[in-house]
Amino acid sequence: MAWRCHGNTHRELIDNLQRAGLLRTPRVIEAMKKIDRGHFTVEGPTSAMSYRDSPQPIGYNATISAPHMHCEMIELLEGHLKDGAVALDVGSGSGYLTAVMADLCSPTGRTYGVEHIPELVEMSQANAEKSCPRLLASGCLKFVVADGQMGLPDAECRSLKQEGKEMPLFDAIHVGAAAAAIPDSLLHQLKPGGVMVIPVGPKGGDQTLMKLTKDAAGRVHRENITSVIFVPLTSKEAQLADDNSTKVNLLSLMLSSLRGQGE
Ligand code: SAH
C-alpha cells in the first residue's frame, strides 16, 4: 500500500494519502496540509525525496517515520486531539507529528515532544520555526530533552499544574519508537478517558502497534492495531552505539516500509 502514496510535493503526498484512505478525518487532513513534511526532512521542501512514503534517516540512528504511519497514528488519536487538549509525543525525532498534534490541540491546548537526543530536539525546534512558528510562539508546541520512557519530566509537569491542571496530564500520548514493554510512567500520565498509541515489541521485529484506552475508573483497555517495525525506545547510549545491528535494523525498517508495514 505504501508505495502508492508517494508525491512530488507535499500537496500531492497528502492527496495520495487521502485517496488511499489513510487520511480520512477532514480536520486531520487540514492539519497535515498546513505542516509541510519537507520542513522536517534532511532533504528539505525542494526535494521530491521528502515526499516519498518511506521513513528517512535524520541522523543519530533515528528516522522521520513514513507518511502512511504518521497518518495511522494521528487518525487513531484524532478524537483526543481537540482544542484545549494536552498531548505528548514520545521520541519526537524530526518534530513532524508533534507539530501536527499541536495544530490539532491549538489554540488553547498544549503538545510536548520529548526526545532524548539534544541535537534532534534542536533540529525539531528549527524545523518547527520554519513550518509553524505560531505554534511555538503561542506555547502550543514545546520540545523537551528527556528520556521519554519516564514521560514528561517533573519540571514541565509542575508548570502545567501551576496552571491549575492536576496529574494525570495527557488526553493523548503518541510513542514513536518501539517499547520492549509498556512504560508504567506513561500509563500514569494518561488521563482517564485518554488514549495512548505505542509500538510494543523487541528491537528489529515482531512489534505490534497497540492502542491503550484508560476508562473513567482508571482501567486500561488494550487493542492490537497492526504489525509494525519501529526503531527501539531505548537509552541514548544504546541508540548512539554505532553497531551493525542498528544499521541492519534501519535497513529492515526501510524495506518493511516498502511492504507497507514499517514506521
Ligand atoms: N515520530 C518521529 C519518529 C522518530 S524515530 C518522527 O517521525 O520524526 C524515534 C525517535 O525516538 C528517535 O528520534 C529516537 O531518538 C527517539 N527515542 C528513542 N528512545 C527514546 C527515549 N528513551 N526517550 C526519548 N526519545 C527516544
Tell me, in angstroms, the distance from the centre of ligand 1 to residue 94's CA. 9
Q: Is residue 175 part of a domain?
A: yes
Ligand 1 pocket mutation, candidates 117, 197, 229, 249, criterion most atoms within 8 A of CB: 117
Distance CA 209, CA 190 (A): 17
**Rounded to the nearest 5°, which phi and psi values hold at 91?**
80, 55
- Of residues 120 and 261, more confidence is placed in 120
Domain that holds residue 82: 68-236
**Rounded to the nearest 5°, which phi and psi values hold at 258?**
-65, -30
CATH of the domain at 209: 3.40.50.150
How many CB atoms are located within 10 Å of the residue 222 CB? 11
Q: Is residue 251 part of a domain?
A: no
Q: Is residue 217 part of a domain?
A: yes
Q: Which ranges of the chain would DSSP assign to H, the alpha helix?
A: 10-19, 26-34, 67-77, 96-105, 118-131, 133-137, 154-161, 184-189, 236-240, 244-258
Tell me, in angstroms, the distance from the centre of ligand 1 to residue 233's CA. 7
Going by pLDDT thresholds of 50, 70 and 90, the confidence category of residue 256 is low
Tell me, in angstroms, the distance from the centre of ligand 1 to residue 132's CA. 21
140-170 pLDDT, tens per residue? Answer: 999 999 999 999 998 888 877 766 556 678 9
Is 94 assigned a catalytic role?
no
Q: Is residue 10 part of a domain?
A: no
- Quote the pLDDT of residue 1: 44
Q: Is residue 255 part of a domain?
A: no
Domains: count for the chain: 1
Q: Collapse the DSSP code of 197 into the 3-class scheme (helix H, G, I; strand E, B; otherwise coil) and give the result.
A: strand
95-137 pLDDT, tens per residue? Answer: 999 999 999 999 999 999 999 999 999 999 999 999 999 999 9
Of 176, 190, 109, give the one whose Cα is nearest residue 142. Answer: 109
Distance CA 131, CA 127 (A): 6
Q: Is residue 249 part of a domain?
A: no
Q: Is residue 171 part of a domain?
A: yes
User: Does 205 have pLDDT greater than 90?
Assistant: no
The residue from 65, 92, 106, 131 that is catalytic is 65
Structure-block grid coordinates of residue 227: 504489525
Q: Is 115 near ligand 1, meaning CB less than 6 Å away?
A: yes
**Mean pLDDT of the chain, nearest integer:** 91
- Quote the pLDDT of residue 252: 62
DSSP code of 248? H
Q: What distances in angstroms separate CA 183 from CA 45, 112, 149, one per listed residue? A: 35, 17, 6
Q: Is 195 near ligand 1, meaning CB less than 6 Å away?
A: no
Q: Is the pTM of this model over 0.85?
A: yes
Q: Is residue 72 part of a domain?
A: yes
